[in-house]
Amino acid sequence: MREAGEAGAPTISAAAALGGVALLIVLVHLPMLSFGFVSDDGWTITANGFLRQPADLWILFTPEAAARRVPDAFRPTLVLWDLLTYQLFGLAAGWHHALSIATHVGVAWAGQAWLGAMGAPLRLRAATMAIFGLLAVHAEAVAVISFREDLLAAGLGLAGALLASRWLRAPARGGGCGARARVFVLLRTISVGLLIALACGAKASAATLPLLWWLAEALAPWSRRRPLGQRAAWMAAMWVGVALWIAHTVALHGSLSPYGAEGNLRLFVSRAGLGPVLAMSTQIHLGYVQQMLIPWGLRPEYVDAGASWAAPATLLASAALLASLLYGLWCGWSGRRPLVCLAIVGAFVMALPTSNLAAMPNMRADRFLYFPSFPVCVGLAGLLLAAGLRFARRLGGAGEGAGRARWSWALAPIVAFVVMQGAVLQAQAQIYKSNAALWSSAALLVPGSARAQALAGEVLLAALDPAEVGSLEHQRTLATVRARCRSAMALDPLDELAHLCFARLAIAEQAWGRAQLHLERALALSPDRNHRILAALAQVALDAPGSSEQRREAALAAISRALREYPYAVEVWAVAGRIFHRLGDPALASEHYARAYELAPERWETTLWTAELALDVGLWRVAAALLAARAEIAESAPGVHRAALEGRLRDSARLFP
């Protein structure tokens, strides 16, 4: 890593330096291999039947994807990636985490390679890679499998930027003119445009990458600036990629936003208006800067809120952000500190898609910083290396040996920063190891979040042991859940999760009428992802007060709607099978169980319920054969359910030999 002008600096090959940094990033992230599926992983991976239907892939590029509620249909790259990885790894969480870690290393590698293509020295590239790879605020994006959308967007986007910068400096094969050269140029242009389209198709955070690329090439901190026309041509190729993504989103949803229009209660802007949201956004972004520099206050959950433009915090945040932007622009305009300009203005540019100018279901999240942090990491690497060199020069000394010792000291600031960030990253990542850890931590760290309170209650209910019903421990858990539900309701009565929490509690207490009321209220408030509510409503309706005909009609209405609106939601098919099973229609029950198994063979509920159906119609041999064939799946069911089924099977075999 010899630097020009640094006498005595030891040499190290680029492969060793970058390989060593990549190794460090992998080592620090290794504990994540033991983590499970959490948060949105349920909606997008574990219960997403679309991933098991590769033949339906074509609908991703038609409005059918939105009509059939394919999870994250507006992110076709991500869906494609999820489908491929599901086909490869199934639901083995460890492999998915390994892939996330590899992707994260790949993103860091692509970032440093882009800097290298623009002529950045090895030391800066390696330092940027280390900081980006170990930045604590990236814990959420890397540790949660479904948040690999951010990793994919950054990786594909940086790969596009790398190719554009490399080809900007390399003439096309076949000479400067002629048909062959034109074909090469066209292929290169298409490749760059396609990579940017794919990046945006993974997450919209890549949509402003062309601006970052332009800024870096216009500033040209490490090499001669390329002619304006050539730069404009490559940026145009990138914008074509962005336009492709926009066209796809509009084709699917009929608008630029996949989150629907006004009235979507998940969008805080629908409740408070754009002004207060943007005022709060200034505070949020100042907080982001602090979190990147000093990793304190990282959270798995934030409460959406508005703010006044006259509030001191808003004024302070706005002034600080504006001052830093003006300073960054001045650094670039004067040409004195192009790296500072790239870091500051680049971060502003990359933060635009998640800056709440466009309405989003979450105003703030750690993962939103994944891509925007890249230019910040470049700036931090430059700053820490410069500080280290100054520090090393002050140490003095003479001779070759002294020079090497000084050089080692030059690395001290960057090593200290990376160790501090990496340590916090490892600790922070532990929050995401399971849903129970995630939501109990979220409720503790962010007690003002209705979602955190409601979901903390739900995970407690999910962990209830059916064998302990009626015990003191059981009663205590129900009381804790009730307190969580009440907190959620007091914090945000318009959040459907608070009503869903009460509904789950009522189901646990077998208070079917109360459960039905809460589910209906949750359904009225929830703008999307209603499959769980509808499935629960259908099941509860069969036990709720009313005549048998009323109950039957209510259950069938709810499950029919669920099947129509969410044809790829696994639990909907399983519950439909259960409903027909209970209504005494074994043919329809069997048909729906079969579809549920097709959409998610890993779910134990489907297998056990199918075996129960066979027992109920007197086919105990069929049930036994099914359980033997799917022994591994049945093994994953809770012991109490498995034991009950095996007991029935034994009785049937004895009574009807």
Partner 1 sequence: MNRKFFSLVLLAAMAIAVGGMACAQVTKSIDDADETDSGT
Footprint on this chain of partner 1 (rule: CB under 8 A): 10-13, 16-17, 20-21, 23-24, 27-28, 134, 411, 415, 418-420, 422-428, 430, 441, 444
- Beta-bridged to residue 48, according to DSSP, are 569
| C-alpha span between 222 and 449 (Å, rounded) | 46
One-letter amino acid for residue 129 of the chain: M
Shortest reach from residue 426's CB to partner 1, in Å? 3
- Beta-bridged to residue 569, according to DSSP, are 48
- Beta-bridged to residue 105, according to DSSP, are none
Residue 364 DSSP label: -
Q: Which is nearer to partner 1, 418 or 541 (CB)?
A: 418
Taking a C-beta distance cutoff of 8 angstroms, is the pair 449, 443 a contact? Answer: yes
Closest CA to 366 of 446, 307, 284: 284
Output the six-digit token pair for 55. Answer: 């033949």
Instruction: Give whole-number Cα distances, 139 to 133, 178, 292, 504, in Å.
Output: 10, 50, 12, 31
Angle between helices 570-582 and 531-541 in degrees, nearest 10: 10
Taking a C-beta distance cutoff of 8 angstroms, is the pair 496, 450 a contact? Answer: no
Instruction: Give whole-number Cα distances, 481 to 92, 150, 475, 502, 619, in Å.
Output: 30, 33, 10, 9, 40
Output the six-digit token pair for 20. Answer: 């060593």
Residue 367 DSSP label: G
Helix extents (H) in 492-547: 496-508, 512-525, 531-541
Counting every residue written for the chain, the total comes to 657
Closest CA to 60 of 72, 52, 49, 48: 72
One-letter amino acid for residue 327 of the chain: Y
Shortest reach from residue 143's CB to partner 1, in Å? 13
Cα-Cα-Cα-Cα dihedral sign, residues 392, 398, 403, 409: negative
Class of residue 583 by CB neighbours under 10 A (exposed 0-12, middle 13-18, buried 19+) = middle
